[in-house]
């Protein structure tokens, strides 16, 4: 059985081809520039040439792509966008037009000059990924499922904060799946493509851009996928309760996990440093963290459900860390340099453990996607969790099971 897992971030898109006949360490993987970075680079070329730009396709991740689009418009270069593509910048299209961008209908696209530089926006390009694998002799024609993760703020109503709207959504998902049977309920943030809530427009755009796949599509939020994947590090798996922090390029999320999700906070990575992050982690641990503490600091917010405080010092580390900017913790001593399981006082740095599930931190989100797919598609559960738990470790090499 094969499953394609694609974790799409701001800097990279991390791709893993799961094959149930292989040990997970032998699965084929790619770490490539993210779609938003690819668009950014192409638009920078148009900026230098001052070529008019047409952007069609779907809503996709902003950040670098949005910055480049806005830079072209500010430079006086004609920028045209179809309505669906324009939601990459803002769900309220009048605000997109206020940037000097012209919104045109799909019918008007054909009337533009052939000299216009045309780009199709999309987070997930199954055709391109399939071609890349095919160039190496690997076919994706026999997939049992595809699982894709992106970060989705959701489509907030006019006048409602995107940050608050997203956190209200997180709260609703956690409360509606307190004992779903999913591992720590993190897969409550995963959906079959036919079940995506209408408010989650970026997840919906992934499903639209996927087209007619030959198998089911599962979509998920990136941070819960990374945290769920980090749980499969063998050292992390031994801990009944833990705090796992995903330090992403744009967003940092920390989950307190025990009997389900006991608490979570989400901040913008660019707004925090290590002392501030550790302060919030401690408050999450003892239950004193308030939503307004994070929200008023330009973060998204916080939720605390469990009443049993998390105590540092019971394990040889205090916090599990993953994510592309995990080096924020690199200046603190590693567990290997510390003796015993000394308690961590307020004046001491938290001791991090850098999770490496199946030997690869960059693919943690893909392993989380696999676990979530096992929950969303019960017919795949037994096989996937046998692989994730090591029950199917056969020592088979790729050449013994040629694809």
pLDDT at residue number 355: 96
For the chain, give every domain's residue range: 2-34+126-226+360-388, 36-121, 239-355
What percent helix, strand, coil does the chain show, rounded to 5?
Answer: 40, 20, 40
Quote the CA–CA distance of 61 and 209 in Å, as a whole number: 13
For residue 299, give Cα distances in angstroms to 139, 270, 342: 42, 10, 32
Cα(348)–Cα(342) distance, rounded to whole angstroms? 11
CATH topology of domain 2-34+126-226+360-388: Nucleotidyltransferase; domain 5 (3.30.420)
pLDDT on residue 306: 81
Q: Can you give the pLDDT at residue 394?
A: 58
CA dihedral 270, 274, 278, 281 (to 10 degrees): 30
Order of all β-strands in the sheet with 28-33: 28-33, 12-19, 2-8, 143-150, 217-221, 190-192
- Classify domain 36-121 at the CATH class level: alpha beta
| Long-range CB contact pairs, 280-285, < 8 A, 24+ | 280/254, 281/243, 281/245, 281/254, 281/319, 281/350, 282/346, 282/350, 284/243, 284/254, 284/256, 284/310, 285/243, 285/256, 285/309, 285/310, 285/311, 285/312
Q: Please tell me the predicted confidence (pLDDT) of residue 176.
A: 83
Best CA proximity match to 220, nearest among 1, 3, 2 = 3
Q: Do the Cβ atoms of 382 and 188 come closer than 8 Å?
A: no
Per-residue model confidence (pLDDT) at position 247 = 95
pTM for the model stands at 0.91
Contacts of residue 332, Cβ cutoff 8 Å, sequence gap at least 6: 274, 349, 350, 351, 352
pLDDT value, residue 307: 84
**For each of the chain's 403 residues, which pLDDT tens digit applies?**
999 999 999 999 999 999 999 999 999 999 999 999 999 999 998 888 899 999 999 999 989 999 999 999 999 999 999 999 999 999 999 999 999 999 999 889 988 988 899 999 999 999 999 999 999 999 999 999 999 999 998 999 988 998 999 989 999 999 887 545 544 589 999 999 999 999 999 999 999 999 899 899 999 999 999 999 999 999 999 999 999 999 999 999 999 999 889 999 999 999 999 999 999 999 999 999 999 999 999 999 999 998 899 999 888 899 999 999 999 997 544 444 333 334 444 557 899 999 999 999 999 999 999 999 999 999 999 999 999 987 655 555 555 555 4
Distance CA 205, CA 56 (A): 13
402 in Cβ contact with 22 (< 8 Å) = no
């Amino acid at each position: 059985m094969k499953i394609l897992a694609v974790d799409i971030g701001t800097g990279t898109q991390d791709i893993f081809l799961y094959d149930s006949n292989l040990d997970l360490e032998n699965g084929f993987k790619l770490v490539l520039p993210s779609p938003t970075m690819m668009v950014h680079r192409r638009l920078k070329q148009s900026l230098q040439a001052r070529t008019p730009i047409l952007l069609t396709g779907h809503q996709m991740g902003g950040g670098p792509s949005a910055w480049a689009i806005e830079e072209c418009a500010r430079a006086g270069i004609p920028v045209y966008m179809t309505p669906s593509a324009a939601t990459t910048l803002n769900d309220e299209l009048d605000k997109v037009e206020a940037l000097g961008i012209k919104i045109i209908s799909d019918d008007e696209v054909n009337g533009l000059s052939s000299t216009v530089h045309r780009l199709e926006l999309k987070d997930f390009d199954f055709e391109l990924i399939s071609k890349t694998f095919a160039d190496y002799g690997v076919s994706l024609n026999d997939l049992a499922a595809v699982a894709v993760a992106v970060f989705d703020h959701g489509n907030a109503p006019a006048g409602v904060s995107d940050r608050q709207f997203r956190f209200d959504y997180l709260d609703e998902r956690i409360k509606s799946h307190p004992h779903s049977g999913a591992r720590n309920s993190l897969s409550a943030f995963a959906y079959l493509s036919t079940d995506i809530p209408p408010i989650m427009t970026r997840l919906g755009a992934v499903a639209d851009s996927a087209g007619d796949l030959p198998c089911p599509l599962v979509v998920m939020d990136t941070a819960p996928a990374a945290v769920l994947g980090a749980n499969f590090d063998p050292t992390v798996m031994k801990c009944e309760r833990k705090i796992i922090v995903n330090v992403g390029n744009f967003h940092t999320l920390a989950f307190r996990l025990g009997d389900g999700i006991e608490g979570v906070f989400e901040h913008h990575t660019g707004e925090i440093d290590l002392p501030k992050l550790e302060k919030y982690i401690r408050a999450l641990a003892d239950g004193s963290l308030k939503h307004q503490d994070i929200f008023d600091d330009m973060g998204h917010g916080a939720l605390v459900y469990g009443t049993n405080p998390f105590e540092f010092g019971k394990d040889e580390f205090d916090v599990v860390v993953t994510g592309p900017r995990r080096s924020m913790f690199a200046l603190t001593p590693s567990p290997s340099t510390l003796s015993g399981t000394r308690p961590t006082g307020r004046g001491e740095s938290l001791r991090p453990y850098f999770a490496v599930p199946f030997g690869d931190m960059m693919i943690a989100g893909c392993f989380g996607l696999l676990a979530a797919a096992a929950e969303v598609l019960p017919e795949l559960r037994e096989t996937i969790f046998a692989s994730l738990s090591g029950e199917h470790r056969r020592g088979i090499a790729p050449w013994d099971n040629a694809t």
